[in-house]
Amino acid sequence: MPDSHRFVLVTGLSGAGKSQAMRLLEDLGYYCVDNLPASLVRTFAELVSGNADRNRKRIAVCVDARSGADLHRLPAYLDEVTELGLKVDTVFLDSSDDVIVHRYSETRRRHPSAGSGRVEEGIRRERLLLEPVRARADLVIDTSQMSPVELRDRIAGMFWGERRPRELFVTVTSFGFKYGVPPEADLVFDVRFLPNPFYDPELRPWTGEEPAVRDYVLENAAAQEFLDRLRGLLKFLLPQYASEPKAYLTIAVGCTGGRHRSVAVAHALTVFLRDLKHNVRLRHRDISRPVEEPG
């Protein structure tokens, strides 16, 4: 496929936001095909690669559990597409079981994999079917706590315009361990050893976006040595990841609640990586959660 083409494969769990992601890609100028049978991925890629139409330079297809038992061969089909010399970006939309159940209860739609059974059983079947595809996805997006606007921003940040060959797109996200580790994380760093502004009554209401909180967290010997070592590690690792087929890397920085220490460190890492000319997006997953009083 010529460098001007872009081929995006969207897959994932029913109820996780695949249809919305396809609509967003369509808004970004992609020619979108929903519910493409897994067995037709190679055939469709061959048709696209031979199409000189300028309006078909950016393509997005959705393949999901509606392909049934044939879905387990999707990784092999993608290998065949790669053998054609085409580059495919695979995006996997995921969400927690509880959130998917809630979404289906709101819409009162039948889960496509549930048959006459419960939604929970349909989710279990889909996870088993999709496990091989998820394992090889370039990008996993967990929409459990995402608003439609946040998903739109994430998709737009990833797929607006053309990316240069071998460019690595990095997402740095802060989070709170008490709310779970982001499932899309490739690298996870625990900063709960750093001084905690939560126990300072004047700093507690603020977040790591405030200079005073950042200074409290970072202006000490332990934090400086940690950042120096982490910068050196990332300076080595990112070119290694960029040389691999995987085009997206998520670096997660966690503290207890995700409002102070992780936010400050994630900001510092983002500044460092942008100074190195990396394409970086900063996200604070749990920064808006309410502040709890000390027990």
Model-level pTM greater than 0.75? no
* pLDDT of 219 higher than 80: yes
pLDDT at 201: 93
Strands 6-12 and 248-255: unpaired
Q: Return d(Cα 131, Cα 52) in angstroms, integer.
A: 35
Q: Return d(Cα 10, Cα 265) in angstroms, integer.
A: 32
Q: Please provide the distance, in angstroms rounded to a whole number, between the alpha carbons at the two ends of the chain.
A: 59
Dig out the tokens for 177 from the structure. 């361990």
* pLDDT of 136 higher than 60: yes
- CA proximity to 206, closest of 288, 294, 295: 288
* pLDDT of 281 higher than 50: yes
- CA proximity to 267, closest of 207, 220, 221: 207
At 97-125, the pLDDT tens digits run 888 888 877 666 667 666 666 778 878 88
Dig out the tokens for 178 from the structure. 């008490």
pLDDT at 115: 61
Helix (H) or strand (E) holding 48: helix 41-49
pLDDT at 198: 94
Options 1.10.3720.10, 3.30.420.10, 3.40.50.300, 3.30.70.250; CATH for 6-159 is 3.40.50.300
At 50-101, the pLDDT tens digits run 655 544 567 889 998 777 777 778 888 888 888 877 778 899 999 988 888 8
Q: Is 232 helix (H, G, I), strand (E, B) or coil?
A: helix
Q: Is 254 helix (H, G, I), strand (E, B) or coil?
A: strand
The residue to which tokens 């996997």 are assigned: 92
- Each domain of the chain, given as residue ranges in start order, spans 6-159, 169-284
pLDDT at 163: 46
Q: Return d(Cα 24, Cα 48) in angstroms, integer.
A: 20
Q: Is 76 helix (H, G, I), strand (E, B) or coil?
A: helix
* pLDDT of 260 higher than 60: yes
Q: Return d(Cα 35, Cα 226) in angstroms, integer.
A: 47
What percentage of the chain reaches a pLDDT higher than 70?
A: 86
Amino acid symbol at 165:
P
Phi and psi torsions of 290, nearest 5°:
-65, 150
Q: Return d(Cα 168, Cα 155) in angstroms, integer.
A: 15
* pLDDT of 252 higher than 80: yes
Q: Return d(Cα 8, Cα 54) in angstroms, integer.
A: 17
Q: Return d(Cα 246, Cα 243) in angstroms, integer.
A: 8
